[in-house]
Chains A and B, each alone.
Chain A
Amino acid sequence: MPHRCPTTESAPARWLLIGLALLLLSLFLLLPLLAVFVEAFRRGAEVFFAALHTDAALSAVRLTLLAAAISVPLNTVFGLAAAWAVTKHRFRGRALLISLIDLPFAVSPVIAGLVWVLLFGAKGWCGPWLAAHDLKIIFDVPGIILATVFVTFPFVARELIPLMEAQGNDQELAAVTLGASGWQMFRRVTLPNIKWGLLYGVLLCNARAMGEFGAVSVVSGHIRGKTNTLPLHVEVLYNEYQFSAAFACATLLALLALVTLGLKSAVEQISHQGATRRT
């Protein structure tokens, strides 16, 4: 009668590895998260709430919500259309199209801002025309939205493409055979199958849209109360040595991250349960 299974480690080795992983992750993940809240409340709750209740902070929150409210729906519609085109149909150049959709992941956020400056900045290609028509994109809200759309571009498509690829076309073909219209098929057959993957993609897209820093920093011009998003507002406060205020605003973004992670785990669990029930 063997005392331990030969295809696993001895108990001490197991606990050593678990302990090491826990220690590393606590130092590397939990401690930074804890530090955000400790630093934010270092000078008391009064300073904390005062920092959140300034006009600059409120306008930064509004701009962050606006950028997400525009870029997330746009990229969700794009993600659905792109996934529909590349997974339900076969055509030449399909593999290339899938690679191109992933392209923004390989682009530095700074470059995602730079491209818009080169197009629409004062010395950019369309700069003189924009100036002549009294239009402003760079150092203004439209530039921030364009930069956010660029960096959040692939998130929904990236979740949907592998999922829809794995599900195949059988159910859609059955629906068409039974006389369903395109819209009916999408709403009654495809959407229920992909809803969790879609939600997952939207969550990640939204987290990135609200938290983006590099790309919007290049196009924003850091005009307080006008073109600062919440992450940029955090940077401005930090560079002015208003550390408690910077961390107070950072707690909002840390909470956003925690809510995203919580919802993400919940979605994973629900969709996993659904999958096992079906089989």
Chain B
Amino acid sequence: MHNHRVIPGFGLSLGFTITYLSLIILIPLAALFLNAGGLGPAEWWRILSTPRVLAAAKLTFGASAAAAAVSVGVGLLVTWVLVRYRFPGRRLLDAMVDLPFALPTAVAGITLTSLYAPNGWLGGYLAKWGIQGAYSPFGVFIALTFIGFPFVVRTVQPVMEDLGSELEEAAATLGAGRWTVFRRVILPALVPALVTGFTLAFARAIGEYGSVIFISGNLPMKTEILPLLIVSQLEQYKYRDAAVIAAGMLLVSFTLLFLINLLQRQLDWHKR
């Protein structure tokens, strides 16, 4: 019973992994939940039901959902073009999709702001149509879409590359047009990946801070997002309010991640 493991290093690697994980992630997060949990439901309700928190929650979740939905559309188009067609510059385009992952969020924030401000390159055009780009909820949506759509591309891309052509050929043989084939054959096969991409983009958008705070204008009740509200509570030394808002956000994000895991497990099971 002493050691039936053939590959060495199990105790050492697992011990180090668990110790480090606990010190850096688990204990600090537990401290947050203990801080917030010690307050009781009445206090939670008092903090979370203030108009300012509700307005920030509505903007954060609303803009994140809208951005994730648009990311699915944009991501599907971009993935389709990258996987199915060959054209000059395709590899460069493929590499560029990761730019929002690699570009520091503060840089994305100030750049998008300068582009979409009323006197910016794109904001000027939008203003002609009566749309305010930066310093509005629409600006928050733009920043979150920028951050979110690579998640959709990178989730859908491998699935689309693995789609065999047999079903499409069969459908074409049976007289289906391209649009019918896309709608009835290809799209259903991509739905799970699209849902995962949506959820990843949505989860990232909820917590996003750097790219949003410059373009949003940060008006309480109008363009203030939840992460910024946490920061402003901290700046007023309201640690408890900050902890409760943060714990609420984390509960939503963890639930989302849990649901993705369930979904993926179910899909793996189907594949088998």
Contact = CB atoms under 8 A, between A and B. Distances in A.
B238 to A, nearest CB: 10
Interface string B71-100: 000100110111011010101010111111
A159 interface: no
A247 B104 contact: no
A159 B115 CA distance: 34
Nearest to A82: B17
B146 interface: yes
A31 B103 CA distance: 13
B7 A176 contact: yes
B56 interface: no
Main DSSP-derived SS at the B contact region: helix
Interface residues of A, number: 98
Output the residue of B12, B102, B242 with the most chain A CB within 10 A.
B102
B112 A32 contact: yes
Nearest to A203: B102
A214 B121 CA distance: 27
Nearest to A110: B227
A185 B172 CA distance: 52
Interface string A128-172: 000000000000000000100110010000000000000001001
B8 A17 contact: no
Interface residues of B, number: 91
A185 B231 CA distance: 48
A84 B9 contact: yes
Contacts of B35: 118
B103 A25 contact: no
Interface string A1-31: 0000011111001100110111011011111
B104 A211 contact: yes
A73 to B, nearest CB: 13
**Interface class of chain A by DSSP:** helix
Contacts of A109: 105, 207, 209-210, 227
Residue among A17, A31, A108 facing the most chain B CB atoms (10 A cut-off): A108
A155 to B, nearest CB: 11
Given A78-B17, A115-B28, A214-B210, A18 B85 contact: yes
- 10 cross-chain pairs, A with B, having the tightest CB-CB distances, nearest first: A108-B207, A211-B104, A214-B209, A115-B28, A213-B210, A182-B8, A6-B172, A257-B102, A110-B227, A85-B13
Given A6-B172, A21-B80, 20 more contacts: A17-B81, A17-B85, A18-B81, A21-B78, A24-B74, A27-B122, A33-B111, A84-B9, A89-B7, A97-B17, A121-B239, A213-B105, A231-B104, A231-B106, A234-B106, A247-B111, A250-B107, A261-B96, A264-B102, A265-B91
